[in-house]
Amino acid sequence: MELARGRVLVAGAAEGRVLRLAEPLSFWGGVDPRTSALTDPRGPSAGTNIAGRVLVLGSTRGSSSSSAILLELLRAGRAPAALILAEVDAILVIGVVVAREMGWPTIPVLELPLADHAALEDGMAVHVAEDGAIAAA
Amino acid sequence: MTELSSDERALADGRNGPAAAMAIRIVAETARILGAERLVPVTSAHVDGCLYHGDSGVHFVERLVELEGRVAVPTTLNVGALDLIHPERVHADAHATQMARRMMVAYEALGCAPTWTCAPYQVGHRPGRGEDVAWGESNAVAFCNSVLGARTNRNGDFLDISAALTGRAPYYGLHVAENRLATVVVETHALSARLKAEDAFYPVLGAWLGAEVAGAVAVFDGLPADMPEDRLKALGAGAASTGAVGLFHVAGVTPEAPTLEAALGGRVAELRIELTPEMVRRVRDSLSTAPDGPVDALAVGSPHYSVAEFNTLLDRLAGRRMSRPFYACTNRQVLKDLEDSGTLASIEAAGIEIITDTCIVVTPILPAGGGVLMTNSAKFAQYTPSNTDYEVVFGSLGDVVESGVAGRVVRDEAAWN
């Protein structure tokens, strides 16, 4: 069953459980590049691991080093399974573009309006298709 | 679809070598994803990607060196993970130290200037109003756009060096004049002159802005016309760490806001917010994660401390000595100025340790074991709890100095009530 359809920013297929964050995330200072755990103690999801999750973000903030953290996760195979962003984030997409250029694994990145995020419930197993379709797995 | 000029297609075909070809592919692919119709020539770059976060970034820049990359425009470097002048002050493990050094060497080999600072605007890198540039590092971007009036997006690590190698950036966002107009007006008339005269008000104001408007362009109304640059620096750094702010205006102060109307481009604001003293106080308090009590270490200098800020720090100390480890992060140019003026001896005699080329939240510098760090920087306050094993207390410079002498949090609340 199709739950939502995002605009494809970086194409790819993936499967994983949804991790939907209400708070804005900065990958630098917010994700441990060695463990993929969320680290900001002010955030309600501190300690949660983002590796292998279909990460759904309402907004991003902060550092321009977030691309470097995402690249590090991609090379180590500890990245989220897919990124679903309310608005295209120029800093995060660079991490994926560079990973592809270096010949390392990449992940799909979709743009999906915030209003459609409610269809993706936290913890739900989903499949992301090349064409941007997000379906229950 | 992103249209490339004949010159840009020649770069992609390898006219300037394989590194430039790889870099233009990265710039063009990013432009495509962002929906940019074309690229824009840039006249300078500031690279944030030289900070070690793991081996992947080292492999990337060493690939560019192997492919004989050379920057096409003047390029400065942000902090690395090492203090090359006082190497013993950084306690990174052997692998991280070796890789961080390889990374710094590789960026220099590409022709970047070894400035190692998050405040390139303090070491002479100051593009003019309306100039298109490609800068990275969130506070540097906010300063470049807001205070200098040059035009850059918030470029992620790796896009910055790709732009430097090609002299091109995706044309979208803050390169487009219309997107630089304010859509939000922030009224400050209900705040006291006393509060507006307090340095610590500005990082707090920035932290509020970033959390409130995310990435929107705001204009402040009612701030003092004689605002020193270090206050604008602190405002931008706060806003860029709690939000995605790349540009703000201050009516009567910043170059694109001679008046409130000019900053709005004659349009009606989408949102008007009137700040109250209670809102400011609440944001200030939210920057602390620990209650007032004993302090284990103190830090200033995010963004990197200026000579003027060092002089204020010494004035506040008035010959007293810190009783706890106190770190002041700055760049090597400021260090040289302090040496030349003889100020460095007084700073060291006061028990202040200067960190150059890097800072306390990007690499292990603070004493092991954790505790409570006090700072007057909204950016240090934002990143200390997640990047170090310290909790944080935010205060004014006066509070930080008194607390550093006393070894526990001492506050002057007069400006905030």
Tokens describing residue B220:
């402040």
Predicted pLDDT at B44 = 98
Determine whether A63 is an active site residue. yes
Q: What is the ipTM of this complex?
A: 0.94
Predicted pLDDT at B214 = 82
Rounded CA separation B334/A75 (Å):
37
Are B383 and B363 in contact, with CB atoms under 8 Å apart?
A: no
A68 touches chain B (CB under 8 A): yes
Annotated catalytic residue, options A26, A45, A59, A63:
A63
Predicted pLDDT at B1 = 82
Domain of A70?
Answer: 2-123
The closest CB to that of A102, out of B59, B141, B157, belongs to B59
As to burial, measured by CB atoms within 10 angstroms (0-12 exposed, 13-18 middle, 19+ buried), residue B8 is buried
Phi, psi at A117, each rounded to 5° = -70, -25
The closest CB to that of B136, out of A60, A64, A92, belongs to A64
Residue A8 lies inside a defined structural domain of this protein: yes
Q: Please answer yes or no on whether A91 and B156 come within 8 Å at the CB atom.
A: yes
B22 touches chain A (CB under 8 A): yes
Residue A31 lies inside a defined structural domain of this protein: yes
Q: Please answer yes or no on whether A67 and B387 come within 8 Å at the CB atom.
A: no
The minimum CA-CA distance between A137 and chain B, rounded to whole Å, is 27
Q: Which residues of A touch B361 (CB under 8 A)?
A: 29
B54 touches chain A (CB under 8 A): yes
Q: Which residues of B touch A106 (CB under 8 A)?
A: none
The closest CB to that of A94, out of B156, B242, B383, belongs to B156
As to burial, measured by CB atoms within 10 angstroms (0-12 exposed, 13-18 middle, 19+ buried), residue B406 is middle
Residues 6 or more apart in contact with residue B140 via CB below 8 angstroms: B46, B48, B78, B118, B119, B120, B121, B303
Strand A2-5 relative to strand A82-85, pairing: unpaired
Q: Please answer yes or no on whether A75 and B387 come within 8 Å at the CB atom.
A: no
Q: Please answer yes or no on whether A62 and B25 come within 8 Å at the CB atom.
A: no
A86 touches chain B (CB under 8 A): no
Predicted pLDDT at A60 = 79
Are B52 and B100 in contact, with CB atoms under 8 Å apart?
A: yes
Q: Which residues of A touch B154 (CB under 8 A)?
A: 64, 90-91
Please tell me which residue of chain B has the smallest CA distance to A8. Answer: B33
How many domains does one find in chain A? 1
- B residues 145-184 near A, CB within 8 Å? 153-160, 170, 173
Rounded CA separation B170/B132 (Å):
11
The closest CB to that of A98, out of B26, B51, B289, belongs to B26
- Residue A136's H or E segment, with its range, is strand A133-136
The minimum CA-CA distance between A18 and chain B, rounded to whole Å, is 23
Q: Please answer yes or no on whether A101 and B136 come within 8 Å at the CB atom.
A: no
The residue to which tokens 């100025």 are assigned: B337
The CATH number covering residue A88 comes to: 3.50.30.10
**b/e map of B329-361 (b: 16 or more CB within 10 Å)?**
bbbbbbbebbeeeeebebbeebbbbbbbbbbbb
Q: What number does CATH give the domain B6-172?
A: 3.30.499
Tokens describing residue B390:
């310290």
Rounded CA separation B297/B6 (Å):
56
* Angle subtended at Cα B162 by Cα B156 and Cα B167, rounded to the nearest 5 degrees: 115
Residue A134 lies inside a defined structural domain of this protein: no
- B residues 239-278 near A, CB within 8 Å? 240-244
Residue by residue, pLDDT tens for chain B (417 residues) are 899 999 999 999 999 999 999 999 999 999 999 999 999 999 999 999 999 999 999 999 999 999 999 999 999 999 999 999 999 999 999 999 999 999 999 999 999 999 999 999 999 999 999 999 999 999 999 999 999 999 999 999 999 999 999 999 999 999 999 999 999 999 999 999 999 999 999 999 999 999 999 889 999 999 999 999 999 999 999 999 998 899 999 999 999 999 999 999 999 999 999 999 999 999 999 999 999 999 999 999 999 999 999 999 999 999 999 999 999 999 999 999 999 999 999 999 999 999 999 999 999 999 999 999 999 999 999 999 989 999 999 999 999 999 999 999 999 999 998
Which of these, B215, B169, B96, B45, lies nearest to A26 by C-alpha position? B215
Predicted pLDDT at B215 = 86
Residue A131 lies inside a defined structural domain of this protein: no
Residues A11-57 have pLDDT tens digits of 999 999 999 998 888 898 899 999 999 998 777 788 999 999 999 99
Proportion of chain A above pLDDT 90, given as a percent? 80
3-state secondary structure of B74: coil
A93 touches chain B (CB under 8 A): yes
Rounded CA separation B80/B196 (Å):
34
* The domain defined by B288-406 carries CATH number 3.30.499.10: yes
Predicted pLDDT at A61 = 74
B95 touches chain A (CB under 8 A): no
- Residue B131's H or E segment, with its range, is none
> What separation in angstroms does the CA of B70 have from each of B44, B66, B113, B156?
13, 11, 12, 19
Strand B168-170 relative to strand B39-41, pairing: antiparallel
The closest CB to that of B154, out of A41, A64, A71, belongs to A64
The residue to which tokens 């007293």 are assigned: B320
Q: What is the DSSP letter of B330?
A: E
pTM here is: 0.94
Residue A132 lies inside a defined structural domain of this protein: no
Tokens describing residue B118:
């998050």
As to burial, measured by CB atoms within 10 angstroms (0-12 exposed, 13-18 middle, 19+ buried), residue B225 is exposed
Rounded CA separation A101/B206 (Å):
36
Predicted pLDDT at A45 = 87
